[in-house]
Amino acid sequence: MREKLRDKTRDKLAEQLNAIGVTATLSGRDRPEEKVGNRVFRRSLGIIDITDGGLIKWINIIKQDRQKDSPPRWWIYLGVPGDMQLPKSRSVNIRTKRKKSFPLFGKIIGVTWKGQDRNHGLAKKLSDDVETDNLATGIGNIRVQTLHEDFNGWSIEIDRRFDPTPEIWKSLQRVADISVKSIAYF
């Protein structure tokens, strides 16, 4: 009975990644990576380990259950581990701002990256890259931030569920690559 009620978003994403040629395995529960993006009224559905040799090594799926006036929501966090820890004073937290042809319900016509860049030039590099603009236009809002304390590296947050394709996965790896290369000693 419990298996029928369990949210299978993590299982479905792992199957879709394996179908496009990315080696994805479901991890055991209670890993420290489950804390990334987990806030009040949200819970982690678990970690997916990625072993295809790219920069993205794990995926954490966060769910907020439906409430009185809102439907359920999902966030997908892609983890990019790093070798060195970046001081919090130089941390990065940027996100996409999608431009629409008509406010609120118009078609998305472009994307810009805004936020705390700390003069690393990451927002400009991502804004100038056509492939990352097309990615954000297609799958939703994206946030790139550095991880501190228990984790060293980067987190790429997507604010909704999506169906991965080889092109989307290649673009996500490109965002990870641009992010890692934006800081020389990271």
Indicate whether 186 belongs to any domain. no
**φ, ψ for residue 49, nearest 5 deg:** -90, 135
Enumerate the H helices of 67-165 as residue ranges.
122-128, 130-139
Indicate whether 123 belongs to any domain. yes
pTM score of the predicted model: 0.90
Question: Is residue 23 pLDDT above 80, yes or no?
Answer: yes
Indicate whether 13 belongs to any domain. yes
Number of separate domains in the chain: 1
Indicate whether 107 belongs to any domain. yes
Indicate whether 104 belongs to any domain. yes
| Three-class DSSP category at 97 | strand
Indicate whether 78 belongs to any domain. yes
- φ/ψ bin of 105: left (φ > 0), alpha (ψ from -120 to 50), beta (otherwise): alpha
Distances (CA, A) of 59 to 27, 99, 101: 10, 28, 33
| Overall average pLDDT of the 23-49 stretch | 88
Lowest-confidence pick of 31-40, 42-51, 57-66: 31-40
CA count, 13 A, side-chain hemisphere, 126: 34
Chain centroid, CA 94 distance in Å: 12
Give the integer Cα–Cα distance in Å for 42 and 50: 23
Indicate whether 27 belongs to any domain. yes
CA count, 13 A, side-chain hemisphere, 40: 0
The pLDDT, as a whole number, for residue 63 is: 93
Residue span of the structural domain in which 164 resides: 2-181
| Overall average pLDDT of the 148-167 stretch | 89
CA torsion, ordered 173, 46, 148, 131, to nearest 10 deg: 20
The one-letter code for the residue type at 12 is K
Share above pLDDT 70 across residues of the chain, in percent, rounded to a whole number: 96
Residue 175's pLDDT band (cuts 50, 70, 90): very high
